[in-house]
Amino acid sequence: MPLLKSWVASANDANHPFPLNNLPYGVFSVEGDDPRCGVAIGDMILDMQAAEEAGLVRLADAPLFDVPYWNDLMEEGPAVWAALRNRLTALLSEGAAEQDKVEPLLVAAADAELHMPFAVSEYTDFYAGKNHAFNVGTMFRGPENALPPNWLHIPIGYNGRASSVVISGTDVRRPWGQLKGPNDDTPRWAPCARFDIELEMGAIVGTPSDGPITVQEADDNIFGYVLLNDWSARDIQAWEYQPLGPFQAKATANTISPWIVTKPALEPFRCDTPEREVELLDHLKDCGPMLYDIDLEVTLAPEGKAATTIARTNYKEMYYSAAQQLAHHTTAGCPMNAGDLLGSGTISGPTKESRGSLLELSWGGKEPLTLDTGEERSFIADGDTLTLKGAAKGDGYTIGFGDCTGTVLPALEDPYAR
């Protein structure tokens, strides 16, 4: 599919992340006004509440855009999702008959503050990238035992906290926790010293389900995707994770990018999951291309200094797709809700420069990174800003998500000191 031309001139730039081919969904406010739903088009945002009130968009008997989140639209289902996309394309296409009615409803993105684009119902994080799982397993168990016995059969995951999900630009406070080194007799209470990121994609469930669904049904139920940074306290995690897995190590924050990129925008970039080393059971088998060719990168900027790109990889490196993760999530009868967020797990490639966490990039701290500033990092320092970027490159256009950024603040004074 080539670039679709819009009367919004900035949307026709081949390198702009928000062409007419994209039309991502977000929530914005301007000059202290209440947050409202918006659609990004070039350097502008279409005010969806105003468009609905003006009668330019009418999809249901009741208003869908009088609330500051996209969950109401999600609950209408795929047919309404498609109808909205078709209507937006017609309104914003070059030569649109209603351009004069739409133009006053555009807001300059530079003047807008972005907010959480949806209300997160539940949050589940997976461990579904094989390169990451192999790297981490090798560090702790050796290459011969790197992958747990179940890893090639199911997408492993854990239930996280929806309350931990924050929008890009939110500062992240270094957490306190119980730490116990390999030579310590007992744990100690201290700020995390091995704070890390995980480069992930987040899939947003749009259609609820109440029982097991197939991989194809799961794919149909996904509304869209965001970038996701799963901030991880590695030293807290090392002490707490046995026998039930991550808990406080993953509870500090999970940052998402501000725009929901819908599945239709990503359709031209579908690609297959990797060749299976072990045949999956029937209910998890691939039923077509379920991954996407999306270039990803991570930058790290020390406080007041220029950023260094520390990793480049691609979403197609995942072993399990979001559809397989969602299908597996439902197998025991777990109901899924509109607004559920599924983290992909760390997306790492096969080379050192494509590893999606500092744990891997510095090989557990044994091989520190040298930044362009000359400084070294094994893990994140206070004041560092970490930014995740993602883009799919089409025929004369780019599909972007907006940056997923967070700055690490120093730990608070001991919250339990008296």
Q: From the candidates 16, 132, 328, 329, which is the catalytic residue?
A: 132
Q: Given the structure tokens 């949806």, which residue do they identify? A: 118
DSSP summary character for residue 56: S
Q: How far is 186 from 235, CA to CA, in rounded Å?
A: 14
Identify whether the C-beta of residue 128 lies closer than 8 Å to the C-beta of residue 344: yes
Identify whether the C-beta of residue 250 lies closer than 8 Å to the C-beta of residue 232: yes
Residue type for position 6: S
Q: Which of 285, 244, 243 is nearest to 153 (CA)?
A: 285
Q: How far is 309 from 327, CA to CA, in rounded Å?
A: 35
Q: How far is 351 from 362, CA to CA, in rounded Å?
A: 13
**H/E run at residue 179:** strand 176-179
Q: Which of 316, 217, 337, 203 is nearest to 263 (CA)?
A: 203
Q: What DSSP assignment string belongs to 70-105?
A: SHHHHTT-HHHHHHHHHHHHHHHBTT-TTHHHHGGG
153 catalytically annotated: no
Beta bridge mates, 44: 41, 108
Output phi, psi for 110, to 5 deg. -65, -20
Output phi, psi for 390, to 5 deg. -145, 140
Q: How far is 177 from 188, CA to CA, in rounded Å?
A: 8
Q: Which two tokens stand for residue 21?
A: 């081919």
Q: Given the structure tokens 């004041």, which residue do they identify? A: 383
Q: What residues are labeled active site?
A: 132
